[in-house]
Amino acid sequence: MCAITAALFVLGAEILLRLAFPQVVMFPRWESSREYGVVLPRSATMVHKRPGRWEFRYTINEDRCRGPRVPRKVNAAVQTVVTLGDSYTMGMGVNDGEEYPAVLARELGETYRVLNCGSPGWGLTQEIRRFYEFALDYSPNVVILQFCANDPDDGQRDKVTRFTQGSFVFEPTRHRPNTVFNALSSCRVVQSSQLYALVRGWYESRRESGRVRAELVSRAEADYTTLLEAFARNLNSRGIRLFLISVNGQLDEFQAIRAAVHDLHGGGALQYVEAADWLKGAADRESPEGHRWGAAAHATLGRELAKVVRDSDTAHTQ
């Protein structure tokens, strides 16, 4: 009798939430990884939705990158652009083909190829590791690195990359579950549950509000700056052009990182591009999913970045 009552309660709660207060659900979700903390699922179509409100689909290829798989071998005349970042670069909140790396690829045309290495939850530690362990095999000519305000904190949670004695050292993360996390992420029933989504959302909001930024911000900024400086100079030594963009001026919240970017820009190790200038005056740039960049913003970013890349090619060959 108790089991029947509990089942009826759960069913009623699911129906009530779905009709009156629909929760955000996603299936499949990202997976636990000792190398990166979390990674996108391999060869999957992620369905991300708030039932009755909005729905987006993210196609992930066998390399755990969004979009069609990019072959490693290519005509020598074709240049390679690698995009690094978190959920903004991966393109959460927009459908396949609307994310700025896809727009960038279309704008640049057949003489370029674009490899989207963005992944939700990543900071600079994972992005650098992904570049050297995966993207470098594509002999990139250009790297576009996207900054978000949570990147310094994400780098503290998953310290999978260190720079010591002149070299990058990659280590496993120590702060992620494995078997249980992956089991829940891959279970359609669990991930489709409105009750589970409600509890997960409450837990994640509690975790975010519990972070002590005042004590950690200086360390987070210092670690980010160390990695960025080393990464920019290493790419420069390889002849790879590095461009840095920020989500809607969020870089200005971190004065130490902003100062380092200014110095690197002035020294020619990277080029900082103020992407926020491209998005001014648009009221409909956000995604209904919650990310600051919706389809219109991604379209603008892709078009403008294509101009930046082409201009840099012209300057590079002169």
Compare 131 and 173 and report the one with higher pLDDT.
131
Radius of gyration of the chain (CA): 20
Say if CB 249 and CB 52 are below 8 A apart: no
- Answering whether pTM is above 0.75, one says yes
- 185 versus 153: which is more confidently predicted? 153
Average of per-residue pLDDT across 89-102: 98
- Over 70: is that where the pLDDT of 13 sits? no
Mean pLDDT of 167-181: 78
Lowest mean pLDDT among 59-68, 178-187, 242-251: 178-187
Does the structure show a pLDDT above 90 at 275? yes
Least confident residue range of 21-30, 218-227, 271-280? 21-30
Mean pLDDT computed over 103-127: 98
DSSP 231-272: HHHHHHHTT-EEEEEESTTGGGG-HHHHHHHHHHHHHTS-EE
Confidence band of 212 (pLDDT split at 50, 70, 90): very low
**Which of residues 186 and 215 earns the better pLDDT score?**
186
Distance CA 303, CA 308 (A): 9
**Mean pLDDT to the nearest integer, 104-109:** 98
Strands 44-50 and 54-60: antiparallel
pLDDT confidence band for 57 (50 / 70 / 90): very high
| Helical (H) or strand (E) element with 38 | strand 37-39
170: Cβ contacts below 8 Å, ≥ 6 apart: 35, 129, 132, 133, 160, 161
pLDDT at 127 over 80: yes
Cis peptide upstream of residue 140 (ω within 30 degrees of 0): no
16-30, 112-126, 135-149, 294-308: segment of lowest average pLDDT: 16-30
Question: What number is the average pLDDT over the span 154-181?
Answer: 85
Tokens for 158?
A: 């998953």
User: Which residue has 């362990």 as its token pair?
Assistant: 133
The per-residue pLDDT for 280 is 85
pLDDT mean over 209-236: 82
| Local structure of 56: helix, strand or coil | strand
Yes or no: say if 113 and 70 are a contact pair by the CB < 8 Å rule. Answer: yes
Output the pLDDT for position 73.
84
Question: Using 50, 70 and 90 to split pLDDT, how confident is the model at 76?
Answer: confident
Average pLDDT, rounded, for the chain: 87
For residue 214, name the pLDDT band (cuts at 50, 70, 90).
very low
Max Cα-Cα span within the chain = 81
Helical H segments across 61-123, by residue range: 87-90, 100-108
pLDDT category of residue 139 using cuts at 50, 70 and 90: very high
pLDDT band at 3 (very low <50, low <70, confident <90, very high): low
Task: Match 């403008």 to its residue by tokens.
Answer: 304
Lowest mean pLDDT among 146-160, 184-198, 287-301: 184-198
In this predicted structure, the answer to whether residue 203 has a pLDDT above a threshold of 90 is no
Residue 205 has pLDDT above 50, yes or no: yes
- Write the CB contacts of 86 (distance below 8 Å, at least 6 apart in sequence): 118, 119, 120, 121, 122, 123, 146, 148, 150, 151, 154
156 exposure class (CB count in 10 Å sphere: 0-12, 13-18, 19+)? middle
Please give the residue that has the higher pLDDT: either 14 or 287.
Answer: 287
- Residues 10-33, mean pLDDT to the nearest whole number: 71
Q: Which two tokens stand for residue 177?
A: 């579950």
Span 75-176+213-317 CATH architecture: 3-Layer(aba) Sandwich (3.40)
d(CA 100, CA 54): 20
Confidence check: pLDDT of 194 > 90: no
